[in-house]
Chains A and B, each alone.
Chain A
Amino acid sequence: MSTIPAGFDGNRLHPRMRSVAAPVITMAATLLAAPLWAQTAAGQPYGQPSTARGDWPMYFADPTGSRYSPQDQINASNFSKLEVAWHFKTDQFGGRPEYKLEGTPLEINGTVYTTAGSRRDAVALDARTGELKWMYSLNEGARAANAPRQLSGRGVSYWTDGKDDERILFITTGYRLVELNAKNGRPIESFGDHGIIDMKIGAVTGIPGQPGKYRQIDPETGEIGLHSTPTLVDDIVIVGSSMKEGMQPTTQNNTKGLVRAWNVKTGKLLWTFHNVPLKGEFGYDTWENGSADVNGNAGSWASVTVDRELGLAYLPVEDPTNDVYGGSRPGNDLFGDSIVCVDLHTGKMKWYYQMVHHPIWNMDATSPPMLGDAVVDGKAIKVVAEPGKQAFLYVLDRVTGKPVWPIVETPVPQSDVPGEKTSPTQPFPTKPAAYARQYIKMEDVIDFTPELHAKALDVISHFHIGPNFTPPVVSKVDGPLGTLSMDSAANGTNWEGGAYDPETHTVFVPAGDGSTTVHGLIEPPPGYSDARYVQGVAGRPFTIQGGPGAGDASDAPKVSLDEARAAAAIAKAGQPLKPTAPPVRTSVDGLPLLKPPYGTITAINLDSGDFRWQIVHGDTPDEIKNSPALRGLTIPKTGQVGGPGLLVTKNLVIAGDPQFSTQPGRPRGAMMHAYDKMTGKEVGAVWMPAPQSGTPMTYSYAGQQYIIIPVSGGNYSGDYIAYRLPSGD
């Protein structure tokens, strides 16, 4: 089953990519002048692309966020025979290689479009050969270096008028919206400022002491950025926002999250939705004492989905400022951790649903809300389904915002942290069931051997534990060091989101499971932040916890602004550099504290709310498989944490392993698996030289179906690998 596709030699692919000349500054590089692919042989325009036609025109396939394409040439009978058609390394883009390639490319009528490299360049490739057609590179200098969300991001977006006008849009590291001619990569002069809209204009913070007054953030140093792709429907382009990791904010008065829409042709701003309400707006009063004015974040870092017929857009919103402490923002803090439904054309709110009240668990809305259909008790309902880190799937009527199955406000533990005021209840879906573990239970503690079990219990004894929504605690050197929780980074479903099969009304969600983390609070060094508490462990030196890709950009400064501030605060406070407590570890002999499974895929039937199937996904990690502590034991496949997403086709659910592993019969690497979408049975697998690091896509062109999967990790730098069936099959 696990044959090595042609094109590999042992552990390395033969590089076939043509090297590119030095990066171009502020201009597009056109490598092929004649637009060979804009029209068919008969001279007719291609028109609107779609998955039905074999294209993959959006990050998530179509505006409903399905990640579904009805292609069937690759199926259970031949998946294991897939060969590498071509691959595209991104090493030469930006000043150094990237090792976290998260983009999902687009394909329209024979051309693949995506982002690449540590400067987040945009590229166009020949869909059959991977040949580079054009690249666009914008050197943003310090603005990119200071950006909170770096590397190449999640990809680009496509627009056409259905005739001869085709455009590519994407968001730069420095948070500019760029619009290019899809044929040659040149900026569209008539859009914004020579093809660029500076989206930092309009992003604001509050002004302490001046309620209802707001300050424009600084264009060079102001904190706002985005990995995800713009959503394009008709002539409207919708863009979210995100900030740095929120566990150690330098100020509560951070940039306020927002979602905006522009006209794709004129560049005119159509609407703004303030995720943190401004004074006078609905939701402002859910932040007590006017605290909405001086708190921020609550961005929309996942892409927006759209129901074109209904004219509605669905915004996923993350935590407000300070993921772990909400003392400066008492109240429910709308619209943090919510799904918001707005009018596609005006941005006016239609309804909202808050999944976590007064968020302090880092349980953001992580992924594009999937739009689907359900027939529940004989009644047809248009639904929206949002998975999440806490492994709940929230299923709502997408017209009214009402839950399809009851979601019950349930009393939860209250916080004893000074200044904190937690919500007395939180919403608990009754259906579907949680699809991964949500909190530490004694019966879940690792027990392969009595020794491991005893060691795990000893580790756990240093922490506070409790049921769902147990709050963080102030960290004490003598214990508790913090609250031991499921890891909001690794558990449940994160930015990869799920996929939806319209043929069977099934949502597929990948999940990490069994990963734990510590939510402890410490007072930051004086001068570091105005937040009373931030994430940390007592007795350890204060270190800033950087965010994803923070400082990665090609021109990142040697010392970031935060580090300079922290160093100054630490020096001034005279904090001891020697720790007074040992490092916090939440593992035993290199193994997790909890039993497997560590990675799953669940198929949820939206007509019934029940699971169709749930499987373990990913080979057992080597360190578990080879662990001396488990010598002589038989361990079922455990699955792997961290899988970034899946793809659904006519008959298959396709997902790659998120970690390297070594198995008999194949070299070290990872496998891309195909599962029967009705049963979850594995029907094929093909070897990859590195783990999947971004969500795969599929397209068909010139009679052949391809799958492109982004891989990277460890020693293997970013690579888009395109697979297809052998010729003649």
Chain B
Amino acid sequence: MAGWLWCGLLGAAGALHAQNASQPSVWDGIYTAAQADRGKAVYSEHCSKCHGDDLGGRDEVPPLTGSHFMADWESQSVADLVQRIRRTMPLDSPGTLGGVSVTDVVAYLLQQNSLPAGSIELPNDASMQSVIRIDAVQPSKAAPVAQQHAAPAEHSPVT
């Protein structure tokens, strides 16, 4: 449908691991709301039993929203996340989710992590997914919070 747009993204320059505002990012509206709805159905049937109806996880099952999840996938590509799910999830029957299902459920995860929807679906194609970078914060607008690195902050006991 908009193959020309994806060709442009494939041609995007720059190493994936360098933060580059011109590189396609999950902040660029790279899935659709309808796709996320399809992904939600997949999630409810296959994923919620361990990761929770609220994506909050539990005990040794990690949450799929929030800082721990975004830290896990920061600077990785959408293809990396799709590949990981496809190969190892759900835990009781890995490798059984059809390719489109995994792409759709990733669209749902992006939606649940407050990433914007757009007018073009996330393509079910590893080479195209591999150039889309996962960023916890929108790259061009990120203004990192000042950090004290010189010495670890001492903390008095809290009771």
Residues of chain A having any CB pair with chain B under 8 Å:
10-11, 96-97, 99-100, 245, 247, 433-438, 444, 489, 513, 537, 540-541, 543-552, 556-560, 563, 577, 579, 583-587, 590-591, 597, 600, 602, 611, 613-616, 620-628, 630-637, 641-642, 659-663, 667-668, 681-682, 713-715
Contact = CB atoms under 8 A, between A and B. Distances in A.
Nearest to A95: B94
B120 interface: no
A667 B76 CA distance: 12
A327 to B, nearest CB: 22
Contact of B152 (A434, A550, A615): A615
B54 to A, nearest CB: 4
A678 B31 CA distance: 53
Interface stretch (B3-11, B83-91, B98-106): B83-91
Interface string B43-69: 010001110111110111100011110
B60 A434 contact: no
A637 B148 CA distance: 7
B72 A715 contact: yes
Nearest to B148: A636
20 contacts: A96-B94, A96-B95, A436-B158, A513-B158, A540-B54, A543-B53, A550-B50, A551-B50, A551-B91, A583-B54, A611-B157, A616-B153, A624-B67, A625-B147, A628-B137, A633-B146, A634-B147, A637-B153, A681-B152, A713-B72
B33 interface: no
A558 B66 CA distance: 29
A443 B68 CA distance: 25
Shortest 6 CB-CB contacts between residues of A and residues of B: A551-B92, A714-B72, A548-B60, A623-B67, A583-B54, A636-B153
B65, B88, B92, B95: residue with the most chain A Cβ atoms closer than 10 Å: B92
Contact of A631 (B60, B143, B154): B143
B156 to A, nearest CB: 7
Given A435-B157, A590-B66, A626-B142, A489 B59 contact: yes
A430 B74 CA distance: 43
Interface of B: 17, 44, 48-50, 52-56, 58-61, 65-68, 70-76, 80-81, 84, 87-88, 90-96, 114, 136-137, 141-149, 152-159
A336 to B, nearest CB: 18
A622 B54 contact: no
Given A558-B93, A583-B53, A623 B147 contact: no
A100 B58 CA distance: 15
A626 B136 contact: yes
B56 A585 contact: yes
Contacts of A660: 71-72, 74
A550 B92 contact: yes
B85 to A, nearest CB: 11
Contacts of B54: 537, 540, 583-585
Contacts of B72: 659-660, 713-715
B51 to A, nearest CB: 9
Given A434-B157, A584-B56, 4 more contacts: A611-B157, A614-B155, A623-B137, A668-B74
Given A552-B91, A558-B92, A563-B49, A622 B136 contact: yes
Contacts of A622: 67, 70-71, 74, 136-137
B148 A245 contact: no
A10, A545, A616: residue with the most chain B Cβ atoms closer than 10 Å: A545
A546, A579, A621: residue with the most chain B Cβ atoms closer than 10 Å: A546
Contact of B68 (A11, A99, A621): A621
Given A625-B147, A633-B146, A661-B71, A557 B156 contact: no
A662 B157 contact: no
B133 to A, nearest CB: 12
A437 B156 CA distance: 12
B137 A662 contact: no
B20 to A, nearest CB: 14
Contacts of B53: 537, 540-541, 543, 579, 583
Given A597-B155, A626-B137, A714-B73, A543 B68 contact: no
A144 to B, nearest CB: 12
Contacts of B158: 434, 436-437, 444, 513
A444, A621, A661: residue with the most chain B Cβ atoms closer than 10 Å: A621
